[in-house]
């Protein structure tokens, strides 16, 4: 994942103009990808969902590596096309997009901003530990904030979500499972 550290200048971490140019291009590409939403979760970027694995120069092009949230994800073929289109629209045409299952994506990769956006979208963000094989349960209802919820089904609109009902406002909602 690309993290920015305001304490570090690109001139302190790279000695040549070519290296600085590569770093700036990588930042430019990442900035564009912050604007690319998951097609199943409009308004939540693939970067905030932790799907961006790496951006690096390769031969005569840039390589953008993405992780699929799970191998059966219906958007697995669509996301690379959306990413390529967004980059081409920004004038970056020398790019290869790959989407794979290795390294395996984890809900631990979702940023805090991504979790907040999931909640605002009406989906309870993951609240468990994939490393402990704990799918968790919602902290709160995304509609009213109540902690009194009950499981309706282990599977929601997609296999990565479970269906819950709030016992306070009686609204159904989805919970993004941990894995």
The Cα 92–Cα 29 span in angstroms is 8
Tell me the CATH number at 42. 3.30.300.130
The Cα 24–Cα 121 span in angstroms is 32
Query: Are residues 86 and 123 located together in one domain of the fold?
Result: no
Query: Are residues 19 and 77 located together in one domain of the fold?
Result: yes
Strand (E) positions, the chain? 37-38, 41-45, 52-58, 61-67, 95-100, 123-124, 149-153, 161-166, 172-176
List, in sequence order, the alpha helices (H) in 76-111: 78-89
Is residue 1 domain-resident? no
Average pLDDT, the chain: 87
pLDDT tens digits for 28-66?
999 999 999 999 888 999 999 999 999 999 999 999 999
Say whether 164 sits in a helix, a strand or coil: strand
Q: Return the minimum-mean-pLDDT range out of 31-45, 80-94, 107-121, 123-137.
A: 123-137
- Which of 82, 105, 128 is where one domain is finished? 105
The total domain count for the chain is 2
Query: Are residues 99 and 122 located together in one domain of the fold?
Result: no
Q: Looking at the DSSP assignment, which residues form a beta bridge with residue 98?
A: 65
Has this prediction a pTM greater than 0.85?
no
Is residue 97 domain-resident? yes
pLDDT-derived band at 127 (thresholds 50, 70, 90) equals confident
Boundaries of domain holding 47: 10-105
pLDDT-derived band at 13 (thresholds 50, 70, 90) equals low
């Amino acid at each position: 994942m690309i993290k920015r550290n305001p304490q570090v200048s690109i001139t302190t971490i790279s000695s040549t103009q070519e290296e600085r140019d590569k770093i700036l291009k990588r930042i430019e590409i990442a900035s564009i990808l912050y604007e690319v939403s998951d097609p199943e979760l409009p308004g939540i970027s693939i970067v905030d969902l932790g799907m961006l694995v790496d951006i690096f120069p390769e031969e005569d092009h840039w390589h953008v590596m993405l992780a699929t949230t799970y191998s059966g994800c219906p958007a697995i073929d669509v996301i690379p096309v959306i990413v390529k289109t967004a980059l081409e629209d920004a004038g970056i045409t020398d790019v290869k997009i790959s989407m794979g299952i290795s390294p395996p994506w984890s809900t631990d990769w979702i940023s805090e901003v991504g979790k907040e956006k999931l909640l605002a979208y009406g989906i309870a963000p993951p609240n468990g530990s994939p490393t402990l094989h704990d799918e968790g349960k919602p902290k709160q209802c995304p509609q009213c904030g109540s902690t009194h919820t009950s499981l309706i089904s282990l599977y929601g609109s997609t296999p990565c979500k479970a269906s819950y009902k709030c016992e306070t406002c009686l609204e159904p909602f989805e919970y993004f499972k941990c894995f």
